[in-house]
Structure 1
Amino acid sequence: MRKALLACAIAIGVGLAPCVSAQTAKPEPAFTITGNANLFSDYRFRGFTQTDYKPAFQGGFDFAHQSGFYLGNWNSNVEQLLYNGASLEMDFYGGYKTTFGDFGIDVGLIYYYYPGTNKFSPGVDAKNFEAYIGASYGPASLKYFYSFTDFFGLHSDAFPAGTFAGSIDTKGSQYVDLTVTLPFDGGWSVVGHVGYQKIENARRLGLIENDVIDYRLGVNYDIAGSGWIVGASLVGTNEKNLFTVGDLSEGGGKTRGVFSLSKTF
């Protein structure tokens, strides 16, 4: 080491590139694997409760390659009545993301799977398969989703026989997500979100008269920089009576506070 330091001093003295150390730094890994665990007072998806306004435990993992390609899985408990007997949601996704300075892009596919569905209405499957493309700049992100399948099983077959003349599906449903996250000193951040959901043929199925707008405004805090994040948000939609669960007359989109504890490891 002494000889190495002397060689570096000589190199600097004659104008050569300086040496940092005889010990070279470890190269960045070709891929990383991370996991996450979350506890929510209510699982909301695009503004609507998925757990009958009850708590949800969620978790998953992500595999990311240095090239920008990634794969992941995410899971949560859900309300059986909402997903035709299924009590578990399993999401599988993959895509590619990269950045150009402050500008980022993200494209991929996501499959929503509900094992045990078909319990109450045989033949009605609550799965959903979407493609997405997103862009981000600074604290703002915009993402667009397009559904290749019936939107979480919504189809004329899901209604009593004879309700509709002919077959009506919801393929081609679309969603736009605009989210802004503003970080502050001390581990605090504020998150604002507005989403727009267009369910294909929703009016023909008698579900809603208008497209759905959901919103969220919240604050997060990283506890002493530990990576444990506590959050509080106000979440709701403009279609509060859609996707009614249990005996709630307000439906699944009621505006309420949602509290969370999350950790990525």
Structure 2
Amino acid sequence: MKKLMLTAAVLATFVAPAFAEEAASPHSFSGNLTVASDYRFRGISQTFKQPTVQGGFDYAHSSGFYLGNWNSTVSGLQFTNGGSIEMDFYGGYKFEPVKDLTADVGVLYYYYPGSSIGNTGEKYNNTEIYVGASYKWFSAKYSYNVTDFFGLNTASGGGNGDSKGSGYLDLGATFEVAEKTSLGFHVGRQWVKNYGSLNYTDYKVSLSRDFGFATLGLAVVGTNADRAAYPNVVNAAGKSKDVTDTGVVVSISKTF
């Protein structure tokens, strides 16, 4: 009997891990929720420098394919005639061609329900394809517009033509400076085809700390956008804000 029990124990030692490994699902799901003092997209406030609530869901397959949705409140002063919400839908494929180097290719669709540019009827909705790579602390990504750049074309942009083929280069670096504490640097360059005055560079320096219950973040964000090309946004009360200048963004987020 002792020999039989020993044999069973030995078999369990080897079979249980093998069974657990075999039963592991290739599918993974996650969600995220953020409350922030401002929503900056490529350096420019999308919320009239007001607080925002954001959240989304992601699906990933062990093969490298992924799909996701991310949503944020936006300002009705900047995205007119709609629901004051941005909904992003994306999918792509990540793979590791060499050790420590991760490549990423995909497509991203920005959707603004009901919103249109003034009385032109043109939609802000926007589609980009992207290719990126990350190596240890560093990352790079290029996004290319396959549609007009957030609805900018002859009808909405004063006759300069369409803006398909616009692009954005995103360079970043993130370093762990203490336990669960990260320091990040970002610089980006936006090019808008046929609308050169809209080209600009943006930057961000950020610090985040994971406290377990949530991650707290602090970032300094700004651009060198031409004030004439990106005029101040004015609300109904006559209050004017420069949504392109340097500002501080405080956030609290949770991934689950």
TM-score above 0.5, yes or no: yes
- Does residue 252 of structure 1 match 2:240? no
Partners in 2 of 1:110 and 1:83 — Cα distance?
19
Alignment of 1:46-65 (within 5 A): 46-65=42-61
1:1-265 to structure 2, matched below 5 A, reads 6-7=6-7, 20-24=13-17, 25-26=20-21, 27-86=23-82, 87-99=84-96, 100-118=98-116, 120-159=118-157, 163-164=158-159, 168-203=161-196, 207-208=197-198, 211-223=199-211, 225-226=212-213, 228-239=214-225, 241=227, 242=230, 244-246=232-234, 251-265=242-256
CA distance in 2, matches of 1:2, 1:91: 62
Cα deviation 1:214-264 (Å, max 9, x = unaligned): 0000100001x34x1100000000116226422565632110100001111
Greater Cα radius of gyration, structure 1 or 2: 1
Distance 1:5 1:70, change over 3 A: farther
Counterparts in 2 of 1:6 and 1:240: CA distance versus 1, 3 Å: farther
Structure 2 length as normaliser, TM-score?
0.88
Structure 1 residue 187, shift from structure 2 partner: 1.2
Unaligned stretches of 5+ residues in structure 2: none
Deviation of the 1:200 alpha carbon:
0.7
Q: SS of 1:92's equivalent?
A: strand
Q: CA RMSD in A?
A: 2.4
Deviation at residue 155 of structure 1 after TM alignment = 1.7
Structure with greater strand percent: 2
State whether residues 48 and 77 of structure 2, in contact with CA within 8 Å, keep that contact through their aligned partners in structure 1. Answer: no
Structure 1 residues 23 and 125 mapped into 2: Cα distance closer, same or farther (>3 Å)? same
Sequence identity percentage: 43
- How far apart are residue 193 of structure 1 and its match? 0.3
How far has the Cα of 1:185 moved from its partner? 3.1
- Structure 1 stretches of 4+ with a deviation exceeding 6 A read none
How has the CA–CA distance of structure 1 residues 102 and 122 changed in structure 2, closer, same or farther, with 3 Å as cutoff? same
| 1:14-61: CA deviation from partner (whole Å, max 9, x where unpaired) | xxxx98445233433110111100111000000000000001100000
- Paired with 2:188 and 2:231, the residues of 1 have a C-alpha distance of 17
Provide the C-alpha distance between the structure 1 equivalents of 2:130 and 2:164, rounded to a whole number of angstroms. Answer: 15
Relative distance call for 1:4 and 1:153 in structure 2 (3 A) is farther
Report which stretch shifted further, 231-240 or 114-123: 114-123
Structure 1-normalised TM-score?
0.85
Q: Distance in 2 between matches of 1:4 and 1:157?
A: 83
Partner secondary structure for residue 234 of structure 1: strand
Offset of residue 79 of structure 1: 1.0
Task: Give 5+ residue unaligned stretches, structure 1.
Answer: 12-17
- Contact 1:4–1:22 (CA<8 Å) still a contact in 2? no
What SS does the corresponding residue of 1:184 show, helix, strand or coil?
Answer: strand
